[in-house]
Structure 1
């Protein structure tokens, strides 16, 4: 395979934008696992798109939230927890509280491979809501401890030599410098993703 030609073909960008079929996406994930340079380029594109999305995100008018909540039958939005003020997740976290707080961010039928909603970030900690419809290829981190808390859906996670089956309410922390991947076993997974910077 001509790796450079594959990278320059635009297929990596199409994957990140959710424009590939399921078969094409599966093929690309396999290729990325076989060729480290393709995996690095895919990761760089994903990170660039995420930064672009966050940099260009527009806050909707305040009254929009009230209108949406009212149309869903929540006359008093004060009864809903503020997702930006939710604590860090751990093995004792209640998924129902998070689902109530994040309901307005979770589409009924997600179609893009990955959707991120940044909840909070400072020099020590970052917390995001992630909605995934495809597997997460193998990765490894040396500058932050990653953890995730499953709100909806099911997945299998390999962390080093350990294997985990996860579903709603499950929490998993991934140590530094350990290779790991996530394979979805349901159409989508919604999780709270956290990075604790070291």
Structure 2
């Protein structure tokens, strides 16, 4: 596969998100040896994804933490009784 086909195929995005199959990941990793520019494309995709996630992040209300901790404590207590 040529460099342009790797870039346009979507495999980089799958690889970065951990959704590429084992065969796809191996193919991409092997291609990085032949195409050093591919590594730059992968890093660029990672940065873009991190930026997107940061822009979409929402800080939950502080009460959520207390609620979740209570739920975990309740479930732990139930498991210990069994």
Instruction: Compute the TM-score of the two structures, normalised by the length of structure 2.
Output: 0.74
TM superposition score normalised by structure 1: 0.34
Structure 2 gap segments, 5+ residues each:
75-82
Which aligned segments of 4 or more residues in structure 1 are displaced greater than 4 angstroms?
A: none
Q: Distance in 1 between matches of 2:3 and 2:65?
A: 46
Higher relative contact order (CA 8 A, sep 6+): 2
Which is richer in strand? 1
The offset of 1:21, in angstroms, is 1.6
Looking at structure 2, the residues matched to 35 and 4 of structure 1 have their Cα atoms a distance apart, in angstroms, of 10
Contact persistence 2:13–2:45 (CA under 8 A): yes
Deviation for aligned residue 1:23: 2.9
Secondary structure of residue in 1 paired with 2:27: helix
The count of corresponding residues between Structure 1 and Structure 2 is 74
> Which structure is larger by alpha-carbon Rg, 1 or 2?
2
SS in 1 for 2:20: coil
Structure 1 gaps, min length 5: 75-198
Which residue number in structure 1 is paired with residue 45 of structure 2?
45
